[in-house]
A and B are shown apart, each in its own frame.
Chain A
Amino acid sequence: MANLKKLLAGAMALCMAGAMFASCGNTEEGGSDSKSNTTNNAGTNDNKGGEDGGNGGEDGGNGGDAAGDLKEDKLPNVPQNVEGSEASKKVLKIYTWNDEFKSRLRDFYPEYDKEASGYDGEKVGEHEYLKDGTEIVWVTTPNADNAYQNKLDEDLKAQADSDDKIDMFLVEADYALKYVNGPYVKPVADLGLTDADLADQYQYTKDIVTDSNGVLEGVSWQATPGLFAYRRDIAKEVLGTDDPTEVQAQLSDWDKFNEVAKKMKDAGYFMLSGYDDAYRTFSNNVSHAWVNNKMQIVVDDNLMKWVDQTKEYSDKGYNNGTSLWDDQWNADQSSAGKVFGFFYSTWGINFTLAGNAGDDLQGQYAVCEGPQAYYWGGTWMCAADGTDNPETVADIMKALTCNKDIMLDITKKTQDYTNNKSAMEELAKDFSSDFLGGQNHIALFTKAAPNIDASKAGPYDQGLNESFQAAFKDYFLGSVDKDTALQNFYKAAQEKYPELTVAE
């Protein structure tokens, strides 16, 4: 019996120790899990745009709708109780979720001290500095599962009473409004950026980050119109041509798109890779926002069209059954893939697709407008209220989002589509992308960008988009019917956002 007791005690101690490690494992796992989702640029980088005019973004109810879209009031900024310490003044603290902005700053911000930071275009030293000696500190948290926002919320809340100030943070279109109308952001005008500085930016990139009082709270260096990128070799084989204009003529509306999908299937290819590929083209063309002014979730008819189309594609084998950012989804974009095309916006083509395509497919992709105009993603810089480096933040914003020369440079070197109308129009005249086989895709973007309308964006979009796609995957797989999937979505959405209800 004594032996047994010892053994029990020992085993229990082991279990306790085990439990401790187990809990360490959990947090660690959250990290690795999300990492897999966000290695490719903006994992859940999305947005919803709309058709109805309201370009101002803050116009009230929508025509005849019983309940208009949710328009939240701007919360007053919290007073800063503590000033930044001397140490904090020498540090530029920036919150982000991936490396995209980091590389923009390193490569194109003239005040970035490449030598002191040990930056050679790829590798970077342990500490990074600006030329005036200010150290740059990156606080990087993966985007998935709300991790980035949770971290940001917590630290911004502590900002007022902390002497270690956050200077700048980045937001995505899907939740930009949450911070824009929140109490922690410093208006762009307060930093010294004038309307004249911002005149060349696309209107929608300003609308998304304009608060309910009409004040601009952030700026972006990119505009993100979306296109349909397709494989030239498959187009030639199945459609008989790889010329973007002729391919576009065969894909110009959804009926034609479906016909091509059937041809692809017959030829042994997939039209799209996964279930969510076409999601943005539908969710950007909705007639009302996700949440109405009664705090009810409203599923737009256009989203249900996406559901019906994707169901048809899944049943008929037009897609490869992947999900966005999966390994297989990435692999489908390489030469081993059998997928005709991908819906991608600007960053997706130069950053994700070019990376996934590999050397074999250089020059083997081309882009066309596709059946419907849309946009996807985008990153905005916001100055944190209470920043103790406002001049530096303003200078970075000016350099990267208002300086035409720098923006031209960004587009030429990275093929990113920058947020400067005149620069892009100039470039569109004779641009040639090696990756796209010499095609001038900037010209297509220039046509699409002015039409982007972000008035249907809302603060809850990220969570709701993710839940919607997850819930309907079961329907596409055939394990539930449509109505059950919808109920599952409502349930998951309300778990995420307890304040929301479901519209009857």
Chain B
Amino acid sequence: MKHKSISYAKWGYIFIIPFFVAFILFNLIPLVSTFYNSLFENYLGRGGLVQVGPNFIGLDNFKTMFAPETELGKYFGNTFILWILGFIPQIFFSLLFASWFTDLRMKLKTGAYKVIFYLPNVIMAAAMGMLFYTMFAQNGPINSIYMSITGKDSPYMFFDNVWSQRSVIAIINFLMWYGNTTIMLMAAINGVDPSLYESAQIDGATPSQTFWKITLPLIRPILLYVLITSLIGGLQMYDVPQIITKNGEQVQRTSMTVVMYLQKHLYSKNYGMAGALSVILFVVAAVLSLVVFYVTTEREPKKKVKKGGIK
């Protein structure tokens, strides 16, 4: 008979079924219903006792969202600021540690460090938030130190000033994520062909030259990946600022992120407005992802063109 070749392909499809089932149930259906809900007026009135709606109101929720007094841009701005404040030190220290730990000449035993660096990420974000809130509080240890060093008799109110509050949030985000990034970058650097380093050394390259000219260009895809996952993760930032700023109201909402703003609408289970904001958030995240997708896939042909040009 025709037993010439046995196809294992169907197993591949069978193995990925669980993912698709989970995706449809927990991602796709909620996604579609979010779009649907955003077109309705739908909330609980009288403090939560009476259902109002759902009444179809077209794009009114979006109009309210984009109205200037809603200041949606401010919340996106806050989110971006909080993210970038944490991301810059995060990527700097991650690169530094990753290049040190992978440097053959330093011969570091890195196992323990990897674990220690990763530990902050294991702690729940909320717990980190609580910890730092207590540390930087009016009567916390940081203020005791501050007062004994400067000799001032009143504490510095970290959570009552825009930038000190944002900095505390950024520090937490940095501490939580730099270990994760370090490990990812180490994996990337270890993937670089060692012979490149060896030949560079033989040619007399300094460590900084090998870093800038070899390591960095070759781990660019991973760097880009780190950037984009961090950006999308940053877009959804919630726990840490929520705790540090006590529901985001502190200091003129200058540390209120988009997702915190979204939560504000769930006080009265306002699914219409919350849905509209979720859709906007989805579009922004999708655009960011597409940009990266475009950049990473276009890179290859561009290079060839460039090479051709040089020749």
Report the Cα distance A335→B252, complex, angstroms.
34
Given contacts A8-B225, A328-B137, A331-B139, contact A29 B48 (CB under 8 A): no
* B249 & A149 in contact (Cβ 8 Å cutoff): no
* A471 & B239 in contact (Cβ 8 Å cutoff): no
* A498 & B43 in contact (Cβ 8 Å cutoff): yes
B57 at interface by CB-CB < 8 Å: no
* B52 & A499 in contact (Cβ 8 Å cutoff): yes
A254 at interface by CB-CB < 8 Å: no
- Residues 152 to 204 of chain A near chain B (Cβ within 8 Å): 153, 175, 178-179, 181-183
Shortest C-beta distance, B83 to chain A (Å), equals 15
* A4 & B191 in contact (Cβ 8 Å cutoff): yes
Report the Cα distance A471→B222, complex, angstroms.
43
* A477 & B225 in contact (Cβ 8 Å cutoff): no
* B252 & A175 in contact (Cβ 8 Å cutoff): no
A124 at interface by CB-CB < 8 Å: no
Report the Cα distance A498→B247, complex, angstroms.
19
Residues of B within 8 Å of A480, CB to CB, are: 252
* A327 & B137 in contact (Cβ 8 Å cutoff): yes
What are the interface flags for B145-181 relative to A under an 8 Å C-beta threshold, 1 for contact and 0 otherwise?
0000000000001001010000000000000000000
Report the Cα distance A327→B221, complex, angstroms.
47
Given contacts A4-B191, A4-B221, A153-B44, contact A327 B134 (CB under 8 A): yes
Given contacts A175-B47, A463-B47, contact A321 B157 (CB under 8 A): yes
Report the Cα distance A463→B48, complex, angstroms.
12
* A496 & B268 in contact (Cβ 8 Å cutoff): yes
A113 at interface by CB-CB < 8 Å: no
Nearest CB in chain A to that of B265: its residue = A495
What are the interface flags for B214-258 relative to A under an 8 Å C-beta threshold, 1 for contact and 0 otherwise?
000000011001000100010000110011001101111100000
Given contacts A3-B191, A321-B157, contact A29 B239 (CB under 8 A): yes
* A477 & B160 in contact (Cβ 8 Å cutoff): yes
Given contacts A25-B125, A33-B243, A153-B49, contact A479 B43 (CB under 8 A): no
Shortest C-beta distance, A18 to chain B (Å), equals 8
Given contacts A4-B191, A25-B126, A492-B264, contact A460 B47 (CB under 8 A): yes
Shortest C-beta distance, B97 to chain A (Å), equals 18
* A25 & B191 in contact (Cβ 8 Å cutoff): no
Given contacts A33-B242, A75-B50, contact A321 B252 (CB under 8 A): no
Residues of A within 8 Å of B221, CB to CB, are: 4
B267 at interface by CB-CB < 8 Å: yes
Nearest CB in chain A to that of B239: its residue = A29
Given contacts A327-B139, A328-B138, contact A479 B252 (CB under 8 A): yes
A304 at interface by CB-CB < 8 Å: no
Report the Cα distance A477→B270, complex, angstroms.
31
- B binding-site residues for A, Cβ under 8 Å: 43-50, 52, 69, 124-127, 129-130, 134, 137-140, 157, 160, 162, 184, 187-188, 191, 221-222, 225, 229, 233, 238-239, 242-243, 246-247, 249-253, 264-265, 267-268, 270, 273
Smallest CB-CB A-B distances: 6 pairs: A29-B126, A470-B249, A328-B138, A178-B47, A153-B48, A495-B264
**New A-B contacts (9) at CB < 8 Å, excluding given A321-B157, A497-B268:** A7-B187, A22-B239, A28-B126, A29-B242, A33-B243, A178-B47, A179-B49, A182-B49, A495-B264
